[in-house]
Each structure stands twice: as C-alpha cells, then as structure tokens.
Chains A and B, each alone.
Chain A
Amino acid sequence: MTPSPLDNDRLVWMYTQMVRIREFEERVKRTFEEHPGVIRGHTHLADGVEASIVGSVANMQPGDYVLTTYRCHGYPIALGTDTKAIMAEIYGRATGICKGLGGSMHLCDPSRGFLGTSGIVGQGIPHATGAAYAAQIRGEGQVVLCFFGDGASKQGAFHESLNIAALWKLPIVYVMENNGYNVETQTHQEDANAAAGEDLSVKAKAYSMPGVTIDGGDPVAVYETVGAAMERARRGEGPTLIESKVYRLSAHGNLIAPPGVPLHYPEHEAIAVFGDREQYEAALKGDPVPQFRGRLVNDGVMTNEQAEEILKAARDEMQEAVTFGVESPFPENDEALAYVYA
C-alpha cells in the first residue's frame, strides 16, 4: 500500500536533488545581474518548493509521465535532464533542451516522461488527464503526475478534468502546490475554501475523489503521500487530489520591464504588496532545504561534510551550466519555421 521505504542513499539522493534545484534557481536569479539581457521574458522560480517536487517525482517509475505549470525548472532537474541544456534553454540558445524555442516556461523532456507544460494557468491539467487516459488504455501500469498551483483550481479546466478522471478512474495524481499566492493575490482573496479557512483538498469532494493536504516542505511526507496515491492509481483505483502546502521564496516572477532595462527579481509579494515581513521571515526559517539537511545530519543519514560536498558539487554544476549557456550559440533563423508542422 505504501511506497518502498527510503534507505539512506535514497534520502541523500533526495537532498542532493533539492540542493541542485535550489542552486540552479539561484543562478537563474543571479543571471539577471551577472549577464543582463541574457534571460528574456518571464521566469518563475521554485526555490522553497524543492521538497514537494523531489518528494513527488522520486516515486516515478520508467514510463510514468509528468506535466507541470510554467514554474517548471525543478522537475526536469530532479528527473536527470542535463542542467546545461535547461540553462541554455532559459538563455534561448540552440543547445537548449527545446533548442531555444521554448524558454523558461516551456521546458519539455519526453525522454524522461516530462511531456511539457502550459504557460496558461490550469490548462495543463486536461493535458495530464489525457495522458492518463492514454496510460489507461495502453494498460502498462503507467501513472501520471500532474502539478499545478492553487490558482489553477479556480479554472474550469480543473473542474472538468477532475470530474472525468474520477468518472473514468484514470491513473493520475493531481498535486496542487499551494504557495498561498496567485501572482500577488493571496489565496483567501480568491478562493471560497481558503476564505472559509479550509484546506483546498476539500475540493476533491465535488468529484467523489480522495483529497489530502500535506506539508509540502517535508520531502518524506510528500514522498509517502504521493507514492501511496500513485500506487492506488497504478492499481486502477483512480485519481487523488493532493494539496501540497509550500512557500515560494522568490516573487512570482522576474520584474517585467521594457527591453534595455535590466530585469531582476523583486521582493516577495508578502513584503512588496502586503508589507508582511513576518510572514516571509517565518517562511525563511522553515526553508525546506536546510531543514532537511539538519534532519538527515541529526538522524545520522548524512554528515555535514557530505552536505558541503553536495552543495559544492551543485554549485560547480550550475556554474558549468551558466558558462555553457552563455557561450552557446543562438539558433539559426530557419529553426523558427522548422517545427511549425510535424
């Protein structure tokens, strides 16, 4: 019924992926200052959400699919996509995972089951549901992980998809990463359940589907809950809605400014919009990455030296990714028309 227990190697692997995601996002952020103009458009970071990402995808087996939102850097990193190709994609280079045609919001690596994202809130939910329909008729035990934010649960696409998934008992797990903000709107301002002080997983009731709420900052809790839901889905018992409560440590996205003006990350909306420094600082104190490190060291799973090595390796890797990206060529003009039709 429960996913396989995490041995020490697996726990260290999880920590390593969390650190890699964190360091990657840090370098994306720093790129705005170190290499102004290299990143164009809108970029969304997942620092603070690493535990939820890693705990979830750690359950994926070969053949499983994952589809996500535009806040998507973390998933392929945890799945093993080369960070050089991800960074180069964000820099719009020919060596990017999508050859520079997708950018930060549209990463995709079908070779690892990462079928892609939608840049439009909530619209990836039916895609994931369709992939689950494909998995069901293929009959090889594949399961789909579908990630979206709390804001997406107010989209009609959410309602329509979850109803069908429950009706058809599709092999899918819906992971709602509730970071408490829809851009700069707090969830209780736009969600009737949040306004009533309820967990958002209560929405599952409307579809006769199990719904659970977990601390998305605890990678082990995420691993176990998502894993159990995936096992259930694999047995043909249908979908689950999981609300994973997280806190993103960066603002919704980088500042949007006209070309020529350096873009950077503003302060988190808690401070910039609501003047609530306390909320943000409390979140910083609960930062899942150092929390998990402390726990693994305390439990004797990992030493401090090991943790430092992991951090150093991640930093070296991301430096390499930045250098690779900056030095890579842009795609040729004819690439713009190369993928219009298959």
Chain B
Amino acid sequence: MSHELPYIAAIDEAIRLEMERDETVIYFGQNMATTENAPFRQQFGNDRVRVTPISETAEIGMAVGAALAGYRPVVELYMAEFMLVAMDQVVNEGPRFRAMSGGQVKVPLVLKAGWGFTAGWAGQHTGTLTNMFMGIPGLKVVSPSTAADAKGLMASAIRDDNPVVYFHNYLLTLDHGEVPDGEYLVPLGVADVRREGSDVTIVANAHMLNQSLKAAETLAGEGIQAEVIDPRTYAPLDVDTILESVGKTGRLVLVDSAPRHSAASNVIAGEVVERGFDLLKAPIVQVTALDATVPYSEPLEAYVIPDADRVAAAVRGVLGTAPVGA
C-alpha cells in the first residue's frame, strides 16, 4: 500500500516514524519547533525536538557529542551551504571519531541539508556540494530524487550507525510521488535504474535526474534508448550497477549540477575508466555546470546549469547522431 506525498513531506514522514520507533532519535536545528504547536514538538516534546540559535558549529558538534552519548540526532540545516560554516565538525570531527578510537565509539547522526536552489538564490545558496563530502572516510552521503526515496533513505540514514549527510534537492520540494506506507527503508549504497535502455547510460541525480529522464524521452523519439541511473547514495558509491549498465550500452554520459571540476561525476568517470575501460565504445562525456559561481540573473543561471537539452545533445554526440529535424 502506498500514498501520495510531496518529496518534502515524505522526509518528515520518515523522521516521524523513526522518532516513534526509537526514543533515541532527536531532532534539532534553526527555526524549527519555535512554538508549542510545531508538529514535531507537539508530538515528541521539547526534549527531543529543539530550536537552536544560528550556531552551526555548535549544532553539528552537539550532534556528534549526543551521538557519542548514545543518541541518534538529526540536525535540520535547511541549506547545505550552512555546513560550510562548520566544516571542521562535518569533515574533521564526526567522521573521524570511530576510526581514531579504534572502533570503540560510533557516531550515528544525520545532517539534513537542502541544496541546489537554482531559482535566483544566487551564489551562496545554489551549490551542489556532493563531491565535497563524498570523499570523507566514515561519512555517508545520500541524495534522494523521488518522494519514495526521500522517505526510505531518511529512515535508513537515521538507523545507520554513521554520520550521514542527507541532501534534499530544493527544486524537488513539492514534487509529488507514491510513497510506501509505514516502515520503508531504501538501503544506503544501492543505485536505482530509473529507465532501462540499450544505447547509452546516463547517470544523474535529483533535478538533473528529472532533466535526464526528460532528455531520454526526447531521445526515444529519435530511436535512442537511454538507460538512466540514479546513484541515490554517493558514499558508499554503487559503481557496480553503473558498470553493469555500461557493459550493456558501451556509452556513458554523466550529468551533474556541480561545477565541472568539483563534480561527483569526476569520481564516477575515474572508477568506470579504471574498471571498465574495455566496455566503453566511446569516451565518457560529463555534462556539468560551468566552473563558475552560480549567477543571480535568470538567463545566466540557465547558462551555467545543465538542462535536458544539453543532456540530449551530449548523448547524440556520444552516439554520433543528429537531432530529429536537424
């Protein structure tokens, strides 16, 4: 059984269910639960749900400490960029503790971080930071693209015994989707084949996934069957599913809204070239944002960030075909 929910509400549903299931799950952050009527505070009380000041270092650092002391904190960060204010805590504290203690402690926490508000939010609130965090040993990174995954990945992130950065894409906030009822877990580290195809493999996530699926529809009309894969988790990264697909299609287009030289697609390309060079019939193509701070002005924002047209063009380039009507 399932029900329809917007992406953002599916996240809330997962947090609520996990808080009902496990008393050690706590939830805090800026601007949440400021009144007694706030839904989470009403249900779980002021002990487990708290509003914090604008103090990212303390918020994330406290999550580390509460995790060391046996709790499973979820920190509401709203904007992924706010993690940059507390970079030490995200990168150099939480994920290090288990390893440095020789496995004596664990640090289960979730950093809930919205990202990619490419709707005129300009330079400081529109970044794609996946790659910045996916290479930190001990830190898991997830990024759901559908309402169902939003729920299932949040539940798994909360139950995971490690620090997890949970990215949710702001452009998908109100996208509706079918969400399974009750307990629903999507395992971390497993990619999802969103569309099957035989001619080319496209790897994309979140808003870029939607753009890629749109491109795949256009390409189908041109007789090109694209297989579209959503990694869903960036650390640990499911390279096997991508390799398997490339084994079938022989061609790979990686789509990423991060700047070209800090995109997760760089890492995927490296893995595929090293482990699957013989499978490739053509060079890998990366469709990324330009290496620039996202501009405010609407036409330039569109110029910097990839879209379905650019994905389709890249696929045609890889296959050496021309668009219909050209």
Contact = CB atoms under 8 A, between A and B. Distances in A.
- On whether A and B touch (CB less than 8 Å), the answer reads yes
Interface of A: 65, 67, 96-103, 106, 108-110, 115-116, 118, 120, 123, 125-138, 156-157, 160-161, 163-164, 167-168, 335, 338-342
Which residue of B58, B63, B65 has the most chain A CB atoms within 10 A of its CB atom?
Answer: B65
Given A136-B47, A164-B55, A342 B62 contact: no
A106 B103 CA distance: 12
Given A101-B101, A115-B68, A342 B108 contact: yes
Given A118-B93, A126-B62, 4 more contacts: A134-B71, A137-B26, A160-B58, A161-B62
Contacts of B71: 134, 137
Contact of A106 (B50, B62, B101): B101
A100 B62 contact: no
Contacts of A167: 53
A136 B65 CA distance: 13
B66 A130 contact: yes
B68 A120 contact: no
Contacts of B58: 126, 129, 157, 160-161, 163-164
B61 interface: yes
Contacts of A67: 65
Given A115-B68, A131-B69, A100 B26 contact: no
A127 B99 contact: no
Nearest to A89: B102
B98 A116 contact: no
Contacts of A340: 98-99, 137-138
Contacts of B26: 133, 137
A127 B61 contact: yes
A98 B104 CA distance: 7
Contacts of B105: 108, 110, 115-116
A134 B70 contact: yes
Contact of A130 (B47, B73, B108): B73
A160 B162 contact: no
Contact of A135 (B50, B69, B88, B98): B69
A184 B103 CA distance: 34
Given A116-B101, A342-B108, A129 B161 contact: no
Interface string B90-125: 001100011111111111100000000000000000
B146 interface: no
Contacts of A118: 93
B242 interface: no
A129 B59 CA distance: 10
A108 B101 contact: yes
A167 B59 CA distance: 14
B48 A164 contact: no
A325 to B, nearest CB: 15
Contacts of B50: 168
A136 B47 CA distance: 8
A339 to B, nearest CB: 4
A342 B107 CA distance: 8
B252 interface: no
Contact of A129 (B61, B97, B102, B108): B61
A127 B62 contact: yes
B65 A133 contact: yes
B140 interface: yes
Given A110-B105, A160-B58, A339-B102, A127 B161 contact: no
Nearest to B62: A130
Interface string B227-242: 0000000001000000
Contact of B89 (A108, A123, A135): A123
Contacts of B69: 65, 115, 130-131, 134-135, 138
Contact of B100 (A101, A136, A160, A161): A101
B67 interface: yes
Contact of A338 (B48, B88, B92, B103): B103
B102 A163 contact: no
Contacts of A342: 98, 103, 106-108, 161-162
B55 A100 contact: no
Contact of B138 (A134, A161, A341): A341
Contacts of A115: 65, 68-69, 105
B60 interface: yes
A131 B100 contact: no
Contacts of A157: 57-58, 61
A331 B60 CA distance: 32
Nearest to A335: B102
Nearest to A125: B61
A106 B104 CA distance: 12
B52 interface: yes
B165 interface: no
Contacts of A123: 57, 61, 88-89, 92-93
9 contacts: A120-B92, A123-B92, A125-B61, A127-B64, A133-B62, A160-B55, A160-B59, A161-B61, A340-B138
